Amino acid sequence: MKPVIGITMSLEQSKKQFLSQEYSDVIIAAGGIPFLLPYTVDDELIAEMSRLVDGLLLTGGGDIDPTLFDEEPHPGLGEIVPDRDEMEIALIEQFNAQRKPILGICRGCQILNIAMGGDMYQDLPGQKKAVLQHQQKAPRSHASHTIQIAEDSLLYSIFAKSLIKVNSFHHQAVRKVVSPLKVTAVASDGVIEAFESIAHEFVVGVQWHPESMVAKDDHAKRLFRAFVAACEKRKEKSAVFR
């Protein structure tokens, strides 16, 4: 059976849950079965959901509560939904404990870093000088700026390149990562574009939106294939020990 990938959805204060079809489409194309995770703050339900699926895809969306990394709200902070933050952090803790693969995209990358002890810029243009345009005025599939990838990284082994172009749709960004995470890609202005865990087989965060680039970009396809392959490997390993 194909690996089942749990996907978080966007959540509004009105309690509306939704997801761009791009996320489920790329998981299907990469050989996985997408499973949308409904929002709850019930710890038992979150634990059970984490046991039922083989990997976790943390998607993009709105802003993150700065009190999670001990900061007061910046004037540039947008709308936050605390229930989303709470559930995603609980999911991350469960998946890391079970050593299941995690891929965080944009907001997902940021909440993954916070859950593992890091922090972030609440509003990149307002808190960091001389930054690139990280909220591009171009189609979502367009690669707008370059990133430099560390050669001693999982990301480099997937792409086989140290310099690629990515799209960009964020005003928040990862600021500091702590062990076991390490930075694996940066933009030319120094903004962190990717990180990974050195203590897990596949725990990766990327700041861009590869799900919007797969139609034209082979690197995006490779990333999702590698993620689903890691989920399949973890599923097979779990089956051996049952």
In this structure, are residues 5 and 231 in contact, taking their beta carbons and an 8 Å threshold? yes
Which residue, 84, 139, 91, 137, is CA-closest to 116? 91
Domain ranges within the chain, ordered by starting residue: 4-240
As a whole number, the mean pLDDT across the chain is 96
Q: Is CATH 3.30.540.10 what the domain over 4-240 is classified as, yes or no?
A: no
- Identified catalytic residue from 22, 106, 170, 171: 106
Q: What is the pLDDT of residues 161-193, one digit of tens each?
A: 999 999 999 999 999 999 999 999 999 999 999
Please name the residues in contact with 187: beta carbons below 8 A apart, sequence gap of 6 or more.
132, 134, 145, 146, 147, 148, 193
**Is 90 exceeded by the pLDDT of residue 6?**
yes
Q: Check: pTM over 0.95? Answer yes or no.
A: yes
Q: How many CA atoms lie within 13 A of 33 on its CB side?
A: 10
- Identified catalytic residue from 145, 170, 171, 209: 209
The mean pLDDT value for 61-69 works out to: 97
Q: Is-catalytic flag, 106?
A: yes
Q: What is the pLDDT of residues 104-120, one digit of tens each?
A: 999 999 999 999 999 99
The pLDDT > 70 percentage for the chain reads 98
Q: Is-catalytic flag, 209?
A: yes
Q: Buried (b) or exposed (e) across 32-56, using 16+ Cβ within 10 A?
A: bbbbebebeeeeeebbebbeebbbb
Q: Is-catalytic flag, 231?
A: no
Give the pLDDT of residue 13.
Answer: 85
- Identified catalytic residue from 134, 211, 219, 231: 211
Q: What is the pLDDT of residues 84-93, one digit of tens each?
A: 999 999 999 9
